[in-house]
Amino acid sequence: MYVEREQPVDGEQAVRAVMLALPEEAALYGASAAAWYGLPVEAPADVQIIVPRGTVPRRRPGLEPHEGLGSDDAIVHRGIRVTTPERTWLDLSVRLDDAELVVVGDAMVARGLTTPQRLVERADAARRRRGIVRARSLARLVRDRVDSPQETRLRLILTHHGGLPEPAVNPAVADDHGGWIGRPDLAYEDAKVAIQYEGDVHRTKAKRWRADIARDEVLRDHGWEVVRVTADDLIHRSRLCDRVRRAIDRQRRRTG
């Protein structure tokens, strides 16, 4: 299990300076809003802001203004007015591909900014938005308890590329007597197949590497098969899905 560290917003002081010079109803928007929340989205070169209709400030270097901010679409976060997490996610839906949009949704939930249900409700309530049907569909793929963007990508590869059932996300695994034995990143609990995503920290930190070995041995001692996945595996998607499928088949044959 690997949690990516939240990165500081690039040019935070510049963002604050821009916002101080704008009307008070202006809010950070789009990728600028996502970066301000600390989400895995690259901060844009120009600060993206949004205001209510009819009040767009004039363009100037370093500023990308938009209009269309609703009365309930902004909050104050870390001292700056910014579109709500739900509105931010919808705005990003016209800029990000499917996997990256779900990555952002999972990250929002992991940071306590929203819930999967609130994203679904906001998408369902939206009207006359470009790509809203797609956004509604993708909102239903957002999950809680996801520890890193790579875990999101892995889950989507298994289900959307490989056609496998959706695995449980970070489930608490117990032995036959109810004792806790682990919490794999993803798991097919009925087949006792655990899938662990191994980021570089698992390889470069000796203490983490030893802990991973011990973690997997505990699962194997209780009849689980463990599939370990790295970033390279996410490139070779078909091969990865075949590995997981074979592990499930082996386990089901073994347990009858």
Q: Tell which wins on pLDDT, 27 or 210.
A: 27
DSSP per residue, 42-89: PPPSSEEEEE-TT-PPPP-TTEEEEE---TTSEEEETTEEEE-HHHHH
What are the sequence ranges of the domains in the chain? Answer: 12-139, 149-255
Q: CB neighbours (10 Å) of residue 244?
A: 24
Which contiguous run of DSSP H or E holds residue 146? none
**Distance in angstroms (rounded) separating the CA atoms of residues 83 and 68:** 11
pLDDT confidence band for 8 (50 / 70 / 90): very low
Residues whose CB falls within 8 Å of the CB of residue 224, separated by 6 or more in sequence, listed in order? 173, 192, 193, 194
Say what the pLDDT of residue 201 is. 58
Across 3-42, b (16+ Cβ under 10 Å) vs e yields eeeeeebebeeebeebbeebeeebbbbbbbbbbbbbbbbe
| Long-range Cβ pairs for the range 51-57 (8 Å, 24+) | 51/22, 51/23, 51/25, 51/26, 51/27, 52/25, 55/23, 55/25, 57/22, 57/23, 57/26
pLDDT confidence band for 74 (50 / 70 / 90): very high
Classify burial at 133, counting beta carbons within 10 Å of its beta carbon; exposed 0-12, middle 13-18, buried 19 or more: exposed
| Helix residue spans in 126-236 (DSSP H) | 132-139, 149-156, 200-204, 206-221, 231-235
3-class DSSP assignment, residue 141: coil
Taking Cα atoms as reference points, which of 47, 158, 46, 42 lies closest to residue 96? 42
Residues whose CB falls within 8 Å of the CB of residue 221, separated by 6 or more in sequence, listed in order? none
Which of 72-86, 163-177, 204-218 shows the lowest mean pLDDT across its residues? 204-218
Check pLDDT > 50 for residue 27.
yes
3-class DSSP assignment, residue 152: helix
Say what the pLDDT of residue 239 is. 98
Q: Which residues pair with 148 in a beta bridge?
A: none
Say what the pLDDT of residue 7 is. 44
CATH level 3 topology of 149-255: Endonuclease; Chain A (3.40.960)
pLDDT confidence band for 210 (50 / 70 / 90): confident
pLDDT confidence band for 158 (50 / 70 / 90): very high
